[in-house]
Amino acid sequence: MTLALGMPTVRRDPGAAPSTEGRPDVDDLVDRFGRVARDLRVSITEKCSLRCTYCMPEEGLPAIPRDDLLTAVEIARLVGIGAGRLGVREVRFTGGEPLTRGDLVEIVRLSAEAAPGIPLAMTTNGIGLDRSAQALVDAGLSRINVSLDTVDREHFARLTRRDRLPRVLAGLSAAAAAGLGPIKVNAVLMRETLEDAPELVAFALEHGLRLRFIEQMPLDADAAWRRDNMVPAAELLSVLESRFALTPVGREDPSAPAEEWAVDGGPATVGIIASVTRSFCEACDRTRITAEGTVRSCLFGDDETDLRGLLRSGAGDDEIASLWRAAMWGKQAGHGIDAAGFAPPIRSMGAIGG
């Protein structure tokens, strides 16, 4: 079965906005469980230059019709509303692969103008960054996370279904040269590449990268994820401890998803985001906008609220902000992976924006 882009329940009629019963009259993006969303993820495309098995189907996701994609101006307007009215404190562009979008520099530039002083970040596989890192920094990009699961070229090609490791490494170097350091590197924990983990840590130490391993979540388009086959954080730790001395140092801040370990006495650390075995949903501070302009309050919640319709109908910022607030008030308590009857979301990670 292919989940592909999926058909989540999208509330398109602002008249059918999610209920705000019990919501206090505050500007911020609060929810019923006392959380406040300050970290905005904006997916800007479904297209990607890789086909990671834990994310994308081999043939890629079905193309979003061009008119359905938010434009650079619309993205920047939402970023401005998030930062100016809703308490958003960081914005991250993601996808799909943001670097596949031809107007990425424009998106960053307009967003920087719309949300002055707010850090703009991007999660990317790094392919093509060697050509655009400096332009992105000049446009206002301030932080970057590069996804890299292994530095073994053959394993990389198998996992991503593309032989493009050298291009990712070129992207990493360009990002550092453009001043985007400290660069964070995200590695999804997969059984096929677990044995490569110590080498990836050594690579990160050598290049001053802040590496974080992420437990694989059931967000693959092929619906192949199995709880009993995923690599839990505890197993990774024992693999890493065969080569490094690790000392737990906690989280950077209470809402940071990664728990950090000092490597060989520090100061370098390696992080583990144990999204499945030590979920941190109770501290989640994320709000997401999909490439088609819906608010998604949780990676695992298929109930989305459309903002694009309002944006294109001439609505004012106040009206858009209030619908966004209502969408976040309904955020679910957690991903529920361990709950009886858990069903993965209809959209896969690449279609939501990781």
Contacting residues toward ligand SAM, per CB under 6 A: 48, 54-55, 94-95, 97, 123-125, 147, 186, 188, 214, 216-217, 219-220, 349-350, 354
Smallest gap from residue 273 Cβ to ligand SAM (A): 8
Structure tokens at 354: 């990781």
Of the pair 55, 197, the CB lying nearest ligand SAM is at: 55
Smallest gap from residue 54 Cβ to ligand SAM (A): 4
Smallest gap from residue 48 Cβ to ligand SAM (A): 5
Smallest gap from residue 279 Cβ to ligand SAM (A): 12
Of the pair 184, 325, the CB lying nearest ligand SAM is at: 184
Instruction: Compute how many other C-beta atoms are within 10 angstroms of the C-beta atom of residue 130.
Output: 19
Angle subtended at Cα 133 by Cα 130 and Cα 138, rounded to the nearest 5 degrees: 150
Of the pair 87, 354, the CB lying nearest ligand SAM is at: 354
Of the pair 82, 95, the CB lying nearest ligand SAM is at: 95
Smallest gap from residue 170 Cβ to ligand SAM (A): 15
Instruction: Compute how many other C-beta atoms are within 10 angstroms of the C-beta atom of residue 324.
Output: 26
Of the pair 270, 310, the CB lying nearest ligand SAM is at: 270
Of the pair 139, 159, the CB lying nearest ligand SAM is at: 159
Residues paired with 277 in a beta bridge: none
Of the pair 42, 310, the CB lying nearest ligand SAM is at: 42
Residue 251 to residue 177: CA distance in whole angstroms: 28
Smallest gap from residue 220 Cβ to ligand SAM (A): 5
At which residue do the structure tokens 């905005």 appear? 40
**Closest to 197 in 3D by CA, of 148, 264, 269:** 148
Smallest gap from residue 146 Cβ to ligand SAM (A): 7
Smallest gap from residue 245 Cβ to ligand SAM (A): 27
Of the pair 29, 48, the CB lying nearest ligand SAM is at: 48
Of the pair 122, 323, the CB lying nearest ligand SAM is at: 122
CB 329 within 8 A of CB 20: yes
Question: By Cβ distance, which residue is nearest to ligand SAM?
Answer: 354
Smallest gap from residue 159 Cβ to ligand SAM (A): 10
CB 137 within 8 A of CB 179: yes
